[in-house]
Amino acid sequence: MRIKAERSLHRVIIRAMRIIEAARLVNIQIVKGCAEPGYEDTVMALGNWNDTPKRVSDLLERAGVECEWEDEWSVCDDCCKAVRTEPDSYGWRRYYAIDDDGIHCGDCIKDDVEGYLESLEGRDDKAVTINGINPAEHGYHKMNKDAYECGLRKGQHDDPKAIARRLRANGVRRFIFTIDNVDQFDMQFSVWAKNAEEDIT
């Protein structure tokens, strides 16, 4: 069954490449799949569709390829699948991370959650944004009882930098932030610490 699926995927990619080659287009990238939650894991073509004849996108779609805008997506350097880098809704959160080795989708990050969380420790400018990662399962303790809030409404002015300073002053160094919820005008977040026992709100 897996071999059949791989052959089918290969055929779609070959068809897409031939369509692009016939149209003499070099600015369209064919991606073997999609890792973004809520999207079908299918072959994608990333391009500027304003500068591409409509017949090309029509042919690609008929061949089973999903056409998306190149400035809204990127490609995971591990699995080579596409991830959205621009919001498509008010509640959108990044399903990827960027480091010195490139961009990594949430699926690949979940293969090494410990390493990912450790890379965020002590940072007040980065947070876990990937759904399905629970710091409690990796030895972190939630430090706040109520969610912190940052937004446009009155009282929503919690600042990760100030929280981090307070934690460091209390001797807590191995902490991470998580983005818990994102809305149109605000967001909620939490802070977790490794081996911590007391809440610091």
Q: Tell me, what DSSP letter sits at residue 125?
A: S
* Cβ(145)–Cβ(178) below 8 Å: no
How many residues can be counted in the chain?
Answer: 201
For 141, the domain range is 113-194
pLDDT tens readout for residues 119-170: 999 999 999 999 999 999 999 999 999 999 988 887 788 999 999 999 999 9
43 close to 60: Cβ distance less than 8 angstroms: no
Same domain, 129 and 189: yes
- Tell me the backbone φ, ψ of residue 56, rounded to 5 degrees: -70, -50
Q: How many domains does the chain have?
A: 2
- The answer to whether residue 98 is domain-embedded is no
Domain edge (last residue) among 34, 66, 84 = 84
Task: Please indicate, yes or no, whether residues 130 and 187 belong to a single structural domain of this protein.
Answer: yes
7: confidence class by pLDDT, cuts 50, 70, 90? low
- 93-104 pLDDT, tens digit per residue, is 999 999 999 999
